[in-house]
Chains A and B, each alone.
Chain A
Amino acid sequence: IVPQNRRARLADPIMSFDSDALETYRKSKFYSSREGAA
């Protein structure tokens, strides 16, 4: 759908879903310790 040469925007770190695993862990642990869903 998107050829390799048209992915400049997608390569920006602010478009990444998992660029910071430490932040993901902080949020995941915080919410799973205070809510019944996880």
Chain B
Amino acid sequence: MKKSDCAPRLLATLFQFLLLICSASADEPLSADAILDRPPSFRVESVRVRYSHFEQMGIGYQSQAGPARGPGSESLTVEQPQLEIVAKQGKRTTHRLWIPLDVVTAASPDAVDRLHGVDTISHASRINEGGSVDLTTQYRADRETSLFLRGNYHMEEQFRSWALGAGMARSLAEDNAVVVASVYQVYDWFDSFLTNGLRVGHASRSTSNGNLGLTQLLSPTTVAHVNYGVTLQVGELGNTWNSVPLLEGGRSQEHLPTLRHRHAFVARLAQWLPWQGALKAFYRFYLDDWGILAHTWESELYQRMGPRAYLRLNYRFHQQTGADFFTTLSQTSAGLQTADSDLAPLSAHTFGIMTAIDFPLKHIAGHLDIGLERYLRSNGLHASIVSCSLGLRF
């Protein structure tokens, strides 16, 4: 593919949406709606922006940015701005427009370019820009039932993706319980490369997903949530330029199965604490047919510092077995094999702190937060994350 004009297209789409909002919500001072006290047909409820910055250092045997037998560098930085606009149309319909962007500067794909004199990932070689436009429309059919549709388009320089989803939420027992069911279908289409960086055409993959969740009030201070998600992936399931060090020297192409069944079961609990705080617990059990079995625990402790500010401390622990075909040194270039450090047996810790303040303006409720996190993985990868957010509710 040619170098995309990703950012201008996304901005144009956003601009068109904002024009639609502005034109639809411009009330005349003495319009019929104002006189009859009817709600405006289209009204922006909230706008939120978030900016995150990741700095990652680490090594992985799939990377060619290092010795021939690896491991190579997995150093990268990510700049990730996001925009979310929620608008109400009439009494029953809510639209959510969400635009995340990612600018990734990575050593691993860049090494393919430098070693072989080709341009795998971009004209700028080291920088890959990606972005999405995601629109979810929710329709409240009655007091207990909501339906939603979701569409998403994602683009990177060598990658395109389309997604469609639909779901339903049903409230029971005076909102004591809410059941949500949803399905998603994603289709990815992208350039395919050899490990020497030569492009050999296009590849694709399909991702089909179903989810069933239940949120239940357990007491005036306790909420629980459980969710099961199943995902079926078919097609090219790698990025195509990952490599595997060979015992005889040199490197082989990564070979992954073309089918993957993935199951995730999640349980959450939120408990209000008498000293104006809250404790949240999260557990996920994950299993797939590549041989990965994972447990993830996370806890968040919130403490209010007055009516408008609060502090959050969080800790997360993740542990997984490796894929059946994971290796850091292969005897042959045939058969299933990967050296991707993400698919290795590993454990990881995350420590974080965040502070937030809610502030009233004239007719607007504002929110501001900033957080820091540190991620430490057992196989030589670590990352630092800074993230801040500003939200306005009208």
Q: Using CB atoms and an 8 Å cutoff, list the residues of chain A in contact with chain B.
A: 1-4, 6-10, 12-17, 20-23, 25-26, 29-31, 33-38
- Whether the pair B221, A36 counts as a contact (CB closer than 8 A) is no
> In the assembled complex, which residues on chain B have CB atoms less than 8 Å from the CB atom of A38?
262, 264, 286
List of B residues within 8 angstroms of A6 by Cβ: 220
- In the docked arrangement, what's the CA distance between A21 and B174, Å? 25
Size category, B interface = 35 or more
Q: Is the CB of B375 within 8 A of A17?
A: no
Chain A residues within an 8 Å CB radius of B277: 14
- Would B278 and A15 count as touching, CB distance under 8 A? yes
* Contacting pair B264 A37 (CB below 8 A): yes
B320 interfacial contact with A, CB 8 Å: yes
- B292 CB contacts on chain A under 8 angstroms: 36-37
Asked if B272 and A34 sit within 8 Å, CB to CB, the answer is no
10 cross-chain pairs, A with B, having the tightest CB-CB distances, nearest first = A37-B294, A37-B286, A22-B50, A14-B302, A9-B272, A36-B292, A6-B220, A2-B217, A14-B278, A22-B82
Q: Are B320 and A36 in contact (CB under 8 A)?
A: yes
Q: Is the interface of A mostly helix, strand, loop or mixed?
A: loop
Say yes or no for B173: interface residue by CB 8 A criterion.
yes
Footprint of A on B, CB under 8 Å?
48, 50, 52, 54, 80, 82, 84, 98, 100, 102, 173-176, 215, 217-221, 223, 225, 262, 264, 268, 270, 272, 277-278, 280, 284, 286, 288, 290, 292, 294, 296, 302, 304, 310, 312, 318, 320, 322-323, 342-343, 346, 348, 358, 375, 377, 381, 383, 385, 387, 389
- B294: chain A residues within 8 A (beta carbon): 35-37
Told that A4-B175, A20-B50, A20-B389 touch, could you supply 9 new A-B pairs with CB distance under 8 A?
A13-B358, A14-B310, A17-B270, A20-B48, A22-B50, A22-B84, A23-B50, A35-B320, A37-B288
Query: What separation, in Å, do the CA atoms of A4 and B54 have in the docked complex?
Result: 42
Report whether A10 and B318 are in contact in the complex, using a CB–CB cutoff of 8 Å.
no
Shortest CB–CB separation between residue A10 and chain B, in angstroms?
Answer: 6
